Protein backbone atom coordinates (compact mmCIF):
# COMPACT_ATOMS: atom_id res chain seq x y z
CA UNK A 1 0.00 0.00 0.00
CA UNK A 2 1.31 3.44 -0.90
CA UNK A 3 1.77 5.48 2.27
CA UNK A 4 -0.06 8.78 2.01
CA UNK A 5 2.01 11.89 2.62
CA UNK A 6 -0.40 13.64 5.01
CA UNK A 7 2.12 16.21 6.21
CA UNK A 8 2.84 17.30 2.65
CA UNK A 9 -0.82 17.57 1.68
CA UNK A 10 -1.45 19.73 4.77
CA UNK A 11 1.41 22.00 3.72
CA UNK A 12 -0.02 22.27 0.19
CA UNK A 13 -3.43 23.33 1.59
CA UNK A 14 -1.77 25.92 3.82
CA UNK A 15 0.32 27.21 0.93
CA UNK A 16 -2.77 27.48 -1.35
CA UNK A 17 -4.76 29.40 1.30
CA UNK A 18 -1.91 31.85 1.82
CA UNK A 19 -1.34 32.27 -1.91
CA UNK A 20 -5.00 32.99 -2.64
CA UNK A 21 -5.32 35.42 0.28
CA UNK A 22 -2.30 37.34 -1.05
CA UNK A 23 -4.04 38.10 -4.36
CA UNK A 24 -6.59 40.40 -2.76
CA UNK A 25 -4.00 42.12 -0.59
CA UNK A 26 -1.77 42.89 -3.58
CA UNK A 27 -4.63 44.19 -5.71
CA UNK A 28 -5.93 46.34 -2.85
CA UNK A 29 -2.46 47.66 -2.11
CA UNK A 30 -2.06 48.80 -5.72
CA UNK A 31 -5.25 50.86 -5.37
CA UNK A 32 -4.04 52.38 -2.06
CA UNK A 33 -0.80 53.44 -3.77
CA UNK A 34 -2.59 55.32 -6.58
CA UNK A 35 -5.51 56.81 -4.56
CA UNK A 36 -5.22 59.06 -1.51
CA UNK A 37 -6.84 56.61 0.87
CA UNK A 38 -5.52 54.58 3.78
CA UNK A 39 -5.11 50.79 3.90
CA UNK A 40 -8.07 50.47 6.31
CA UNK A 41 -10.25 52.60 4.01
CA UNK A 42 -9.53 50.33 1.07
CA UNK A 43 -10.49 47.37 3.28
CA UNK A 44 -13.82 49.09 4.07
CA UNK A 45 -14.36 49.60 0.33
CA UNK A 46 -13.53 45.94 -0.32
CA UNK A 47 -15.94 44.84 2.43
CA UNK A 48 -18.77 47.07 1.12
CA UNK A 49 -18.11 45.79 -2.40
CA UNK A 50 -18.56 42.17 -1.31
CA UNK A 51 -21.33 42.39 1.27
CA UNK A 52 -25.08 42.72 0.82
CA UNK A 53 -26.29 46.28 1.44
CA UNK A 54 -27.88 45.44 4.81
CA UNK A 55 -24.47 44.33 6.15
CA UNK A 56 -22.77 47.64 5.39
CA UNK A 57 -23.54 49.56 8.59
CA UNK A 58 -20.99 51.37 10.76
CA UNK A 59 -21.65 48.80 13.51
CA UNK A 60 -20.88 45.88 11.22
CA UNK A 61 -17.71 47.52 9.92
CA UNK A 62 -16.61 48.27 13.49
CA UNK A 63 -17.24 44.67 14.52
CA UNK A 64 -15.59 43.18 11.44
CA UNK A 65 -12.41 45.26 11.75
CA UNK A 66 -12.36 45.45 15.57
CA UNK A 67 -12.47 49.25 15.59
CA UNK A 68 -14.46 51.85 17.53
CA UNK A 69 -17.63 53.04 15.80
CA UNK A 70 -16.36 56.63 15.96
CA UNK A 71 -13.16 55.63 14.10
CA UNK A 72 -15.20 53.87 11.41
CA UNK A 73 -17.57 56.86 11.12
CA UNK A 74 -14.68 59.30 10.59
CA UNK A 75 -13.09 57.06 8.00
CA UNK A 76 -16.35 56.41 6.14
CA UNK A 77 -17.29 60.12 6.17
CA UNK A 78 -13.96 60.95 4.61
CA UNK A 79 -14.62 58.33 1.88
CA UNK A 80 -18.04 59.90 1.25
CA UNK A 81 -16.52 63.40 1.03
CA UNK A 82 -13.94 62.15 -1.46
CA UNK A 83 -16.67 60.59 -3.61
CA UNK A 84 -15.82 56.93 -2.99
CA UNK A 85 -19.01 55.99 -1.08
CA UNK A 86 -22.69 56.96 -0.92
CA UNK A 87 -24.83 56.84 2.21
CA UNK A 88 -28.24 55.11 1.95
CA UNK A 89 -30.94 55.52 4.60
CA UNK A 90 -32.98 52.49 5.66
CA UNK A 91 -36.62 52.77 4.48
CA UNK A 92 -38.09 51.51 7.74
CA UNK A 93 -35.67 52.80 10.35
CA UNK A 94 -34.46 56.33 9.59
CA UNK A 95 -31.65 55.98 12.17
CA UNK A 96 -29.95 53.22 10.15
CA UNK A 97 -27.61 53.98 7.24
CA UNK A 98 -25.91 51.69 4.74
CA UNK A 99 -23.09 52.42 2.33
CA UNK A 100 -22.62 51.63 -1.31
CA UNK A 101 -19.84 52.25 -3.79
CA UNK A 102 -20.04 55.15 -6.22
CA UNK A 103 -19.56 54.52 -9.96
CA UNK A 104 -16.06 56.06 -9.65
CA UNK A 105 -15.12 53.47 -7.00
CA UNK A 106 -16.60 50.58 -8.97
CA UNK A 107 -14.38 51.58 -11.90
CA UNK A 108 -11.30 51.64 -9.66
CA UNK A 109 -12.18 48.21 -8.34
CA UNK A 110 -12.49 46.84 -11.88
CA UNK A 111 -9.44 44.63 -11.54
CA UNK A 112 -10.66 43.23 -8.19
CA UNK A 113 -14.07 42.37 -9.61
CA UNK A 114 -12.47 40.91 -12.71
CA UNK A 115 -10.47 38.63 -10.42
CA UNK A 116 -13.71 37.56 -8.68
CA UNK A 117 -15.30 36.81 -12.08
CA UNK A 118 -12.30 34.64 -13.01
CA UNK A 119 -12.69 32.76 -9.71
CA UNK A 120 -16.46 32.35 -10.27
CA UNK A 121 -15.90 31.00 -13.78
CA UNK A 122 -13.43 28.43 -12.49
CA UNK A 123 -15.57 27.46 -9.48
CA UNK A 124 -18.73 26.92 -11.55
CA UNK A 125 -17.04 24.06 -13.43
CA UNK A 126 -16.83 21.89 -10.30
CA UNK A 127 -19.67 19.55 -9.33
CA UNK A 128 -22.03 20.44 -6.49
CA UNK A 129 -20.62 17.53 -4.44
CA UNK A 130 -17.04 18.76 -4.87
CA UNK A 131 -18.05 22.26 -3.85
CA UNK A 132 -20.02 20.93 -0.90
CA UNK A 133 -16.88 19.21 0.44
CA UNK A 134 -14.86 22.41 0.00
CA UNK A 135 -17.55 24.47 1.77
CA UNK A 136 -17.61 21.99 4.70
CA UNK A 137 -13.84 22.18 4.95
CA UNK A 138 -13.68 25.99 4.94
CA UNK A 139 -16.61 26.42 7.31
CA UNK A 140 -15.02 24.00 9.77
CA UNK A 141 -11.65 25.71 9.36
CA UNK A 142 -13.17 29.15 10.04
CA UNK A 143 -15.03 27.76 13.03
CA UNK A 144 -11.82 26.28 14.50
CA UNK A 145 -9.97 29.56 13.95
CA UNK A 146 -12.82 31.39 15.66
CA UNK A 147 -12.74 29.02 18.63
CA UNK A 148 -8.96 29.49 18.88
CA UNK A 149 -9.72 33.27 18.88
CA UNK A 150 -7.53 33.77 15.79
CA UNK A 151 -10.31 35.35 13.71
CA UNK A 152 -13.42 37.34 14.53
CA UNK A 153 -16.65 35.43 13.95
CA UNK A 154 -18.29 36.02 10.62
CA UNK A 155 -22.03 36.38 11.18
CA UNK A 156 -22.54 32.81 10.06
CA UNK A 157 -24.54 29.84 11.30
CA UNK A 158 -21.58 27.85 12.60
CA UNK A 159 -20.74 30.45 15.24
CA UNK A 160 -24.35 31.41 15.98
CA UNK A 161 -26.11 30.65 19.24
CA UNK A 162 -29.22 29.59 17.31
CA UNK A 163 -27.40 26.92 15.34
CA UNK A 164 -27.33 23.22 16.20
CA UNK A 165 -24.71 21.42 14.13
CA UNK A 166 -25.50 17.84 13.07
CA UNK A 167 -28.89 17.82 14.81
CA UNK A 168 -29.98 15.16 12.32
CA UNK A 169 -26.72 13.40 11.30
CA UNK A 170 -26.78 11.71 7.89
CA UNK A 171 -29.81 13.69 6.68
CA UNK A 172 -29.58 15.95 3.61
CA UNK A 173 -30.46 18.81 5.99
CA UNK A 174 -28.47 17.78 9.07
CA UNK A 175 -28.26 21.14 10.87
CA UNK A 176 -30.90 23.17 12.65
CA UNK A 177 -31.66 26.87 13.27
CA UNK A 178 -33.60 27.36 16.50
CA UNK A 179 -34.60 30.88 15.51
CA UNK A 180 -36.41 30.06 12.29
CA UNK A 181 -37.19 26.52 13.47
CA UNK A 182 -35.83 25.00 10.29
CA UNK A 183 -33.47 22.19 9.24
CA UNK A 184 -30.53 23.47 7.22
CA UNK A 185 -28.35 21.82 4.54
CA UNK A 186 -24.72 22.79 3.96
CA UNK A 187 -25.62 25.03 0.98
CA UNK A 188 -28.23 26.85 3.07
CA UNK A 189 -25.78 27.91 5.77
CA UNK A 190 -25.81 31.70 6.00
CA UNK A 191 -22.69 33.80 6.24
CA UNK A 192 -24.21 37.29 6.64
CA UNK A 193 -27.30 36.69 8.72
CA UNK A 194 -28.99 39.71 10.30
CA UNK A 195 -30.49 37.47 12.99
CA UNK A 196 -27.08 36.11 14.01
CA UNK A 197 -26.56 35.85 17.77
CA UNK A 198 -23.00 35.47 18.98
CA UNK A 199 -22.34 32.37 21.11
CA UNK A 200 -21.37 33.04 24.69
CA UNK A 201 -17.86 31.93 25.70
CA UNK A 202 -19.10 28.88 27.56
CA UNK A 203 -21.16 27.81 24.59
CA UNK A 204 -18.38 27.34 22.07
S1 LIG B 1 -30.08 32.92 13.13
FE2 LIG B 1 -29.10 33.10 11.12
S3 LIG B 1 -26.91 32.70 11.52
FE4 LIG B 1 -28.09 31.97 13.28
S5 LIG B 1 -28.41 29.80 12.87
FE6 LIG B 1 -30.22 30.91 12.14
S7 LIG B 1 -29.83 31.31 9.98
FE8 LIG B 1 -27.87 30.76 10.91
pLDDT tens series, the chain, 204 aa: 556 777 788 999 999 999 988 887 888 888 888 888 898 998 899 899 888 898 899 998 998 888 999 999 999 999 999 999 999 999 988 889 999 999 999 888 887 778 888 889 999 999 999 999 999 899 889 888 888 888 776 778 888 899 998 899 989 899 999 999 999 998 898 887 878 888 765 444
pLDDT at position 155 is 78
pLDDT at position 2 is 56
Residues 140 and 82 in one domain: no
The residue range of the domain holding 136 is 128-203
pLDDT at position 203 is 45
The pTM for the full model equals 0.69
First-to-final CA distance of the chain:
40
Distance of alpha carbon 156 from alpha carbon 56, whole angstroms: 16
Residues 73 and 151 in one domain: no
Ligand 1 atom at minimal distance to the Cα of residue 197: 4
Residues 159 and 96 in one domain: no
* Substitution site in 139, 160, 198 for ligand 1 pocket (most atoms within 8 Å of beta carbon): 160
pLDDT at position 14 is 93
pLDDT at position 37 is 87
DSSP conformation letters of 142-191: HHHHHHTTSSPPPS-GGGBTTEETTSSTTSSS-EEETTTTEEE-GGG--S
Residues 32 and 14 in one domain: yes
Distance of alpha carbon 158 from alpha carbon 166, whole angstroms: 11
Distance of alpha carbon 44 from alpha carbon 75, whole angstroms: 9
What is the residue with the minimal CA distance to atom 3 of ligand 1?
A: 157
- In sign, the C-alpha dihedral spanning 163, 168, 169, 170 is negative
Distance of alpha carbon 139 from alpha carbon 71, whole angstroms: 30
Domain count, the chain: 2
Residue 138's CB: how many other CB atoms inside 10 A?
11
Residues with CB under 6 A from ligand 1: 157, 160, 162-163, 177, 179-180, 190, 193, 195-196
* Substitution site in 159, 163, 203 for ligand 1 pocket (most atoms within 8 Å of beta carbon): 163
Residues 14 and 100 in one domain: yes
Ligand 1 atom at minimal distance to the Cα of residue 195: 1
Amino acid sequence: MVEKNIKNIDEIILFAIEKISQINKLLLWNIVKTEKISPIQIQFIDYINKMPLEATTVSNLAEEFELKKSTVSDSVNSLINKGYLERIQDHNDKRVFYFKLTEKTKEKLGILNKKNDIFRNIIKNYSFEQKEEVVKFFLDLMNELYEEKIIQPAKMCLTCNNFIKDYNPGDSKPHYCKLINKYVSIDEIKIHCNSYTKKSEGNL
